[in-house]
Chain A
Amino acid sequence: MSSAVEVMRRLRFSRELVLLGVLIALVIVMSLLSPLFFTLGNLLNTSRYFVEVGLMALGMTLIIITGGIDLSVGSNLALVSVAVGFTFAAGLPLPVAILFGLMVGMAAGFFNSIFITFLELHPLVVTLGTFALFQGLAYGLTGARAVSDFPDWFAYFGQAYLLGAVPGQLIIFLVAVVVVWLILSRTSFGRYVYAIGNNEEAARFSGVPIRRVKVAIYTGTGLLVAIASVIYTSRVYTARGDVGLGLELDVISAVVLGGASIYGGSGTIGGTVLGIVIIAILRNGLLLAGVPSTWQLFILGVLLLVAVFLNEFFRKGEE
C-alpha cells in the first residue's frame, strides 16, 4: 500500500505525462462508446468548441500562477461580442468594429487589474464585481437585442476551413499557445509570474515590478478573451449580451485540471492545453455516446474536484 503511494509520488515528476495518459485512455473509451468519435472530422470539429475556452484558459493560467483568479472572462466575452456587433450595426466598418472590440476586451482586463493592483483588492472580489458589471453592461447597453446581419467574410474567423478540414481558429489557437508558452517559459516576465505566485512579498523585495506584471497579465487575458469573443461571434453569427454565461467555470476547470495550483506558483501551458483537450473530448464523447447533457455537468464537477485533490496530493509528496 505504502509502496504504491511511493511509486505514484515518484511518477509525479511529470504531471503532463499523467494527463497525457488520461487523455489517451479517454480517447480509447470514447472510441469504444461511439464509432463516430474517432474520426478526423469529429476530432477537428471538437476543436471549434475548445479554441474559445482555450484562448481564455491561456490567460487564466498566468493569472492563476500568480495566485489570482478571473471570474469575469465569460462576461467580458459577452461585452466584446456586443461591442463588435453593435458598433458594426451603428455603421462602423467591420474591421474597425473588430479592432474596437479587441480594445474593449483589453480595457476590461485593465479595469480589473487597476482594482487588483492599486487598491490591493482580492482578485476574487474584484472579478466577481466585474463579472456582474460586464455582463450587465453588455445586456443593458444593447437593450437585450441581438445583431446578426454580418457580411459573409466575417464567417472566416469562426467557420472557415483551411487545408480542407482544419478549422481556421485552430491555427489562431496554436499561434497563441506558442506565444504564451514562450512568454511564460523563456522570458524574465515569465519568471516574474512564477515568483509572484510563489511568494509575493519575496518577489517585491527582489525588485519584481509586481503591479506592472499583474496589469500586463490581466490586460493580456482581456485581449485573449476578446479574440475568443470575435471567433465565438463569428461562429454563432450573432452578437448578444447573454453569451458566454458560465464559460469562466469551464476555463478555470481546464487550467486546474492542467495542474496549476489554485494557491499560485505552479502551472504550465502544456498542462493547460491538455486540460482543455480532456474537457472538450469528454464533452464531445459523452454527447456522441448519447449520455444526457445533465450527466455532463455532474461529471465535469466531479472531474474538477478529483483533479484538484490529486494535484494537492502530489504536491504534498513534492514537499
Chain B
Amino acid sequence: MSEARARVAGTESGARFRRYLGRPETPALAFLVLLVVAFSVLSDKFLSVPNLESILTSVAVLGVIALAVNQVVLCGEIDISTGSMLGLCAVAGGAAAQSTGGFLLPLVAAVAVGALCGAINGTLVTLGRIPSIIVTLGMLYALRGVILLVTGGAWITGVPNESRVLGMGSLFGLSAPVIVLFGLFVVMEVVGRHSTWGRNVYAVGGNRRAARLAGLPTNRVRFFAFVLVGVFVGIASMIYMGRAGSVQTNTGTGLELQVVAAVVIGGTSISGGRGSSLAALTGAILIGVILNGLVLVGVPGIWQQAVLGALILLAVTTDVVRRRLVGDGV
C-alpha cells in the first residue's frame, strides 16, 4: 500500500526508502543504533569487543526463545509458558548430564521435553480450542509445579563440563551462545521467507478465516509453531545450563514476559501476521543493550524492571504512530 503511494509521490529510490521505513523492525533497529551511540558516548567501556560479545552472550537464551515465540505471535497466538518450560527443560537436561554426562544426550532430553510441552500447548490451542493466553498461563503454573515435583526443590549441581558446550564453548573466537543465536536466526529467516510453513504462518496470522477458506491447514500451522517454541526452549535451556553450571528450581521465572517484550519491541505485531525474525532478534539485543548500558552508566539494577516496562510501552506507541504516518508497510 505504502509502495503504491510512494510511487505516486516520486522517484524509485524514494519508494525503496519508504519500503524500508515501513518494515516492522525498522523503528527498533533505529532505536538500537541510537542507544549504542548514546551508551558509547556516556561510557567508554561500552563500545568494546568483549563487552559487545558479553551482551550478545547474555541475551542468547532470551533471543533463541524469542525467535520461536515470534512465530507463535505471527500466527496470532501467544505463548507465556516459556519461563517454566525453560526450567523444566533445564532440569531434564541437567538430570541427563548428571547421570550419563556427554553433550548429545542432555540436549536431546531437553529438546524432547520441550517439544512435548509445546505439543501439549499446541494440542490444547488447536484441538481443545482454548485461547492460547489461557493455555500457556495454565501451563506456566502446571510446569512450575512439575519442576518442583520432580526435583523436590533440590538444585541440580555438578554438571560435567562436556555437557556445558553450548554455554561455555567457542569457535573462531565467538562464544557458543552467540553462534547458536545467530545460527538459529539465519535458519528462521530462511524458514520465514522460503518454506511453505513459514509463509503459512503469515497467512494464518494475517487472516485466519481467509487462510482456512484458502485451504491452508491452520491448525497444523499453529500446532507446529508451539512445538517449535518447545524445541527452541530446549536448546536455550542447554545454553542456560552450560553458562550457569547448575539448575535451580526457579530457573526461568519471569522470562516469559521478557520474551514477549523482545518480540513486540522488535516490531512483530501482537495481533499477528506482521513481523520478522529480525524483529525478534533486534528486540532481544535491544533489551540486552539497555540492561548492560544502564549498569555501565551507573543506574542501579533495581531500576531494570521499570526501564523494561517503559521500553515496551515506548516501542508499541512508536509502532502505532509510525503506522498512522506511513501506513502498514510491506
Write out, one digit per residue, whether chain B residues 267-303 have a CB within 8 A of any chain A CB (1) or not (0): 0001100000000000000000000000000001011
Complex interface residues of chain A between 94 and 138 (CB less than 8 A to chain B) = 115, 119-122, 124-126, 128-137
Write out, one digit per residue, whether chain B residues 311-326 have a CB within 8 A of any chain A CB (1) or not (0): 1110011001000000
16 residue pairs from A and B, CB less than 8 Å apart: A69-B133, A120-B320, A128-B260, A129-B310, A129-B313, A133-B310, A134-B309, A135-B306, A294-B145, A294-B149, A295-B149, A298-B141, A301-B138, A301-B143, A302-B138, A308-B134
Instruction: Write the chain B residue with the least CB distance to A129.
Output: B312
Known: A124-B78, A125-B312. A304 touches B306 (CB 8 A): no
Knowing that A133-B310, A262-B131, A262-B134 touch, tell me 7 more A-B residue pairs with CB under 8 angstroms: A119-B316, A129-B316, A249-B137, A295-B145, A301-B143, A308-B134, A312-B130
In Å, the complex CA distance between A256 and B131 comes to 11
In Å, the complex CA distance between A299 and B149 comes to 12
Binds B, one of A83-91, A139-147, A176-184, A197-205: A139-147
| Partner among A128, A140, A300 whose Cβ is within 8 Å of the Cβ of B141 | A300
- Is there a chain B Cβ closer than 8 Å to A309's Cβ? yes
Known: A144-B302, A300-B141, A305-B138. A130 touches B309 (CB 8 A): yes
Whether B270 and A125, one on each chain, are in contact in the complex, defined by CB atoms closer than 8 angstroms, is yes
Pick the most buried of B124, B130, B146: most chain A CB atoms within 10 A of its CB.
Answer: B130
Instruction: Write the chain B residue with the least CB distance to A111.
Output: B313
* Chain B residues whose CB sits within 8 angstroms of the CB of A124 once the complex forms: 78, 133, 270
- Is there a chain A Cβ closer than 8 Å to B261's Cβ? yes
- Min CB distance B149 to A, Å, is 6
Whether B134 and A305, one on each chain, are in contact in the complex, defined by CB atoms closer than 8 angstroms, is yes
* Chain A residues whose CB sits within 8 angstroms of the CB of B7 once the complex forms: none
Instruction: Write the chain B residue with the least CB distance to A304.
Output: B138
Known: A128-B257, A256-B134, A301-B139. A140 touches B306 (CB 8 A): yes
- Min CB distance B136 to A, Å, is 10
- Is there a chain B Cβ closer than 8 Å to A60's Cβ? no
- Is there a chain B Cβ closer than 8 Å to A263's Cβ? yes
In Å, the complex CA distance between A298 and B88 comes to 13
* Chain B residues whose CB sits within 8 angstroms of the CB of A262 once the complex forms: 131, 133-134
Whether B130 and A305, one on each chain, are in contact in the complex, defined by CB atoms closer than 8 angstroms, is yes
* Chain B residues whose CB sits within 8 angstroms of the CB of A144 once the complex forms: 302
Write out, one digit per residue, whether chain A residues 229-252 have a CB within 8 A of any chain B CB (1) or not (0): 000000000000000000001001
- Is there a chain A Cβ closer than 8 Å to B18's Cβ? no
* Chain A residues whose CB sits within 8 angstroms of the CB of B143 once the complex forms: 301
- Is there a chain A Cβ closer than 8 Å to B142's Cβ? yes
Interface magnitude class on chain B: 35 or more
| Partner among B78, B129, B271 whose Cβ is within 8 Å of the Cβ of A312 | B129
Known: A256-B134, A294-B153, A297-B141. A139 touches B316 (CB 8 A): no
In Å, the complex CA distance between A82 and B264 comes to 30
Whether B313 and A297, one on each chain, are in contact in the complex, defined by CB atoms closer than 8 angstroms, is no
* Chain B residues whose CB sits within 8 angstroms of the CB of A121 once the complex forms: 316-317, 320
In Å, the complex CA distance between A45 and B129 comes to 38
- Is there a chain A Cβ closer than 8 Å to B203's Cβ? no
* Chain A residues whose CB sits within 8 angstroms of the CB of B305 once the complex forms: 132-133, 135-136, 139-140
Whether B270 and A130, one on each chain, are in contact in the complex, defined by CB atoms closer than 8 angstroms, is no
Whether A133 and B313, one on each chain, are in contact in the complex, defined by CB atoms closer than 8 angstroms, is yes
Known: A136-B303, A137-B306, A262-B133. A301 touches B141 (CB 8 A): yes
Complex interface residues of chain A between 143 and 164 (CB less than 8 A to chain B) = 143-144
In Å, the complex CA distance between A305 and B133 comes to 11
Whether B133 and A126, one on each chain, are in contact in the complex, defined by CB atoms closer than 8 angstroms, is no
In Å, the complex CA distance between A297 and B253 comes to 14
* Chain A residues whose CB sits within 8 angstroms of the CB of B311 once the complex forms: 129
- Min CB distance A211 to B, Å, is 15
In Å, the complex CA distance between A79 and B310 comes to 15
- Is there a chain A Cβ closer than 8 Å to B248's Cβ? no
- Min CB distance B16 to A, Å, is 29
Whether A297 and B148, one on each chain, are in contact in the complex, defined by CB atoms closer than 8 angstroms, is yes
- Is there a chain A Cβ closer than 8 Å to B47's Cβ? no
* Chain B residues whose CB sits within 8 angstroms of the CB of A308 once the complex forms: 130-131, 134-135, 138
- Min CB distance B306 to A, Å, is 3
Known: A137-B306, A305-B130, A312-B129. A132 touches B141 (CB 8 A): no
Whether B140 and A301, one on each chain, are in contact in the complex, defined by CB atoms closer than 8 angstroms, is yes
Instruction: Write the chain A residue with the least CB distance to B135.
Output: A305
| Partner among B149, B261, B264, B271 whose Cβ is within 8 Å of the Cβ of A132 | B261
- Is there a chain A Cβ closer than 8 Å to B215's Cβ? no
- Is there a chain A Cβ closer than 8 Å to B304's Cβ? yes
- Min CB distance A68 to B, Å, is 12
| Partner among B128, B139, B306, B307 whose Cβ is within 8 Å of the Cβ of A309 | B128
| Partner among A119, A136, A294, A297 whose Cβ is within 8 Å of the Cβ of B306 | A136
- Is there a chain A Cβ closer than 8 Å to B308's Cβ? yes
* Chain B residues whose CB sits within 8 angstroms of the CB of A126 once the complex forms: 313, 316
Pick the most buried of A139, A143, A262, A308: most chain B CB atoms within 10 A of its CB.
Answer: A308
- Min CB distance B76 to A, Å, is 11
In Å, the complex CA distance between A300 and B304 comes to 30
Instruction: Write the chain B residue with the least CB distance to A313.
Output: B129
Instruction: Write the chain A residue with the least CB distance to B307.
Output: A136
- Is there a chain A Cβ closer than 8 Å to B208's Cβ? no
- Min CB distance B154 to A, Å, is 12
Instruction: Write the chain A residue with the least CB distance to B152.
Output: A294
- Min CB distance B24 to A, Å, is 14
Write out, one digit per residue, whether chain B residues 148-162 have a CB within 8 A of any chain A CB (1) or not (0): 110001000000000
* Chain A residues whose CB sits within 8 angstroms of the CB of B222 once the complex forms: none
